[in-house]
Each structure stands twice: as C-alpha cells, then as structure tokens.
Amino acid sequence: MNILFLMYPWSKIEAETDTTLRLIHEAFTRKHTVAVATLTNLTMRESVSSALCHILKKRTPVPSNIVSFYKKVEFRKSRLPLAGFDTIIMRCEPPLNAIALNFLDSVRNDVFIMNDIDGLRIANNKLYTSTFDDPENKFIPVTHVSKNIDYLEEVLRESKADKMIMKPLDGYGGRGIILIEKHAQKNFHSLLEFYINSREGGNYVILQEYVEGADQGDVRILMLNAEPIGAMRRIPAQGDIRSNVHAGGMVVKHNITKAEKGLCKHIGAKLVRDGLFFVGIDVINGKLIEVNVLSPGGIVRINRLNRTKLQKQVIDFVEGVISSKEALKIRKTEFKQVIEDAIVV
C-alpha cells in the first residue's frame, strides 16, 4: 500500500508525544510505502496534482523505539502524483488551508483520503457541533455565535447562568478561552472589542453555556469509524480553565462513561457520513465541546495510560478500506469481462 501523510514539517515533530509519528511508524513497520509532505509542497504540473514528497527509505529491521526511529529514518525526495497513492492521511495543523485542499479535489475519487476534504471544510471550526441534531441540548451546550457586540452583551445579560465561556470561533489549542462571570461583566464590552475588532472585518466570537464540572477538566475521546477507541481525562493547571496539555494541563486515565458512549453513538453516524473517520472529541460532563478533525492527538498518552497501541487500530482500518476498494475493482473488472465474453459469443 502506498500512503502519503500530508502533515506539518518533519522537523516540528515532538517524537516523545507525536500521534502522527506513531501512525507513520506503524505503517512503515508493516512494509507499506510511506511518504510525507506538507500542504505547501502540493503542486500541479500539466493539470496533474502532485506533491514534493520525502519518501521513507526501506530499512530492516525498523527500530521499535519511536524516538530512535525518528532520529534514524532516511528519506528520498521525489515529486509524486497524488493519484498514485492508495490513501492520503491528513494530519495538518490548524488553521485549515482551504485553498491547498483544492489540489486534492481531482484525486478524491481515486484515493481514500482520511479525513475527507469536504468533511474537513465543514468541520474545521467550532460551529460544526451545531450540525448535530440535539434540540433539547442533551449532548451539545447552548451556543451563541456573533460578531455583533450589542447582541453578545444582550445574550450575557439575559442568561440565567452566572457564568459563560467565551472563545474565538477560529481558535484552537485552548487559545483565547475565557470564563465570563456576570458579576464582572463591566469588562465584557472591552473584551468583545478586543476579540472582534482585532482584524479587518471582525472575528466571530462564541458565547457558550458553562458546563458544570469544567473546572475539573475535560475528556478527550478518540473515535475511529464512529466508535470510541480510547480516552483520557485532561486536568487544567492551577488557576487555568483550559485543559489542553499544551496549555499546562495534565492527563490521567479515564474509562468512557455511559453518558459519553451515548454521545459517541449520537454523533458517530454523521461523522462517518461527513467522511470524518478519525477524530478527537472534547467532552465535559457528557456534553460535546469540540470536534478535532485536522490532526487529532492523544494516542501516545492514551497508549501509556492503558498499555495499548491505538495506532494499530487506525492502520488496520485504513488497510481494510483499501482492501475493500481493491476487491470491488477486481469484481467490477470480472463483471465487465463477462459482458465482453457474452457480446463476442
């Protein structure tokens, strides 16, 4: 199998904790042809979409230690047609480069892309959670989005809750998340001015129901083909409301609860319909806070906490998809041959 990982630069990998590196190592260990490239290395020549790739050179044995593998791996550079890959695994860092995705449109019918590019387009921001049918807000917190300051101030005034969460619509990695308390709303106007007017045309801001238990952290659940495959609890640093590890949070073992399983079942079918086969969801008290679709992480920490190797399940899934596609091609060819033979007779 030929696999292309479209990802962040190789030099930016933190070998000790990087999820993408585990996926690459697993695929390479299985003797698949593995290439890596960044979105900036997508190109087109004579109307053929290609990528300036670094192909991992075959070696035996493959180091089992991931850090050692990262340090010792060797590459061969080559411009390769995207249609020649069996699968393209998207592992790009936010924010989404929507224009770069256009290079993939021409090969989407020939190559299995995970996650699907249309899915990435519709799900790469925090509005995606509102697309899940949940009129009673059992699974999705009540959410308000606007760039109108007067309207957002009205929302806060009329809220029956004592506090709400504010964050930029296009934020990621815990950046810009603030706890807003009604008794301190005198500063709210200036905060909105800063968030909304920091660029020409204005930024959209989210005001969201505060979910009880948020001060105790959140749960990151990794989902594969609509099913949860692993989870961890992230606990915020002292004096911080953000649970993201990069914001100073810590992780502990977590067993998925009945409520969380219900949430996964509720959203799983739509995720698959949107071509979002491998995602990370952030959950507080059984409610969906965010869906991470570009390069969901957490495999390393979940593996350590549970003595598992989730990367095996992910590559198993990709192999299964490609195997099914190949079997379908063979079957189609055989049926065509039957028709050709009937015509000759």
How are beta strands 87-91 and 112-114 bridged, if at all?
parallel
pLDDT, tens digit (0-9, with 9 covering 90-100), for 127-157: 999 999 999 999 999 999 999 999 999 999 9
Evaluate if residue 227 carries a pLDDT over 60.
yes
Angle at which helix 310-344 crosses helix 19-29, to 10 degrees, equals: 50
Evaluate if residue 90 carries a pLDDT over 60.
yes
CATH fold of the domain at 142-209: Dna Ligase; domain 1 (3.30.1490)
E strand residue ranges, 82-131: 87-91, 112-114
pLDDT, tens digit (0-9, with 9 covering 90-100), for 210-221: 999 888 899 999
Question: ω into residue 115 within 30 of 0, thus cis?
Answer: yes
pLDDT, tens digit (0-9, with 9 covering 90-100), for 301-327: 999 999 999 999 999 999 999 999 999
For residue 59, the model assigns a pLDDT of 85
CATH assignment of 2-114, given 3.30.70.20, 3.40.50.20, 3.40.50.150, 3.20.20.70?
3.40.50.20
Between 81 and 185, the higher pLDDT residue = 81
Residue-range domain boundaries for the chain = 2-114, 142-209, 214-308
How far, in Å, CA of 327 to CA of 294, rounded?
Answer: 29
Instruction: Please provide the average confidence, as pLDDT, over all residues in the chain.
Output: 93
Percent of the chain with pLDDT over 90: 80
Query: The whole model's pTM is what?
Result: 0.92
CATH architecture of the domain covering 214-308: 2-Layer Sandwich (3.30)
